[in-house]
Amino acid sequence: MLYSSIQDSSEVSWVKHPSLLFDQCILLQGIFISSSGDQSQSAGGNGAVAFDMEYARWLEEHNKHINELRAAANAHAGDDDLRKIVDSIMSQYDEFFRLKGVAAKADVFHVLSGMWKTPAERCFMWLGGFRSSELLKLLAGQLEPLTEQQLTGICNLQQSSQQAEDALSQG
């Protein structure tokens, strides 16, 4: 839904609002592209920012759907009406996972770190077992060949991450 007609809708918005051409970011074919034509930050900074903005929009829409479902359930709506609402929520989750997949291609660390989540959600990630040191262990095996200085830097980062995690776990 969000990306199926993004090219058409973005072209229309540029025609109606030319100022959007310079400050609107669009998502096209899995790559975050600045609509101003400046590609210098397209994979790095803009990816996380664009994801955060889209996630905020998605979350707002999701809350509306959930409230609609609650209202329908409280009003004792029929099964057909409830099924339509649940189907729309399910398709919205499909959209979210598609968005998250594209964002991971642009900035995997931002998506995996959970920095786009609320502090409470990040706390639950921690309680659920997410540890950045585990991510570093996975990453280290994929970063070959490394210079001695790079290898030392990664080892130091793993150790400091592990120490910080141990300190947090002990209270």
Average pLDDT (136-164) is: 82
How much is the pLDDT for 127?
77
Q: What is the pLDDT of residue 45?
A: 53
The residue written with tokens 């291609």 in the block is 105
| pLDDT digit string, tens, across residues 1-58 | 333 333 333 333 333 333 332 223 333 333 333 333 333 334 445 778 889 999 999 9
Q: CA-to-CA distance for 18 and 91, rounded, in angstroms?
A: 32
Does position 146 have pLDDT exceeding 60, yes or no? yes
Strand pairing partners for 26?
33
Which whole number is the average pLDDT over 68-87?
94
Q: Is the pLDDT of residue 94 over 50?
A: yes
pLDDT at 6: 33
- Classified as helix, coil or strand, 68 is helix
Give the model confidence (pLDDT) of 104-145 as tens digits.
888 888 887 787 888 888 778 777 777 777 777 777 777 778
pLDDT at residue 69, as a whole number: 94
According to DSSP, the β-strands at 25-28 and 31-34 are: antiparallel
C-alpha to C-alpha distances, 168 to 39, 109, 116, 171, nearest whole angstrom: 39, 21, 21, 5
Mark out the alpha helices in the chain (DSSP H runs).
6-16, 20-23, 45-74, 79-106, 108-113, 119-127, 132-140, 148-170
pLDDT greater than 70 at residue 163: yes
Question: What is the average per-residue pLDDT within 159-164?
Answer: 86
pTM over 0.85? The answer is: no
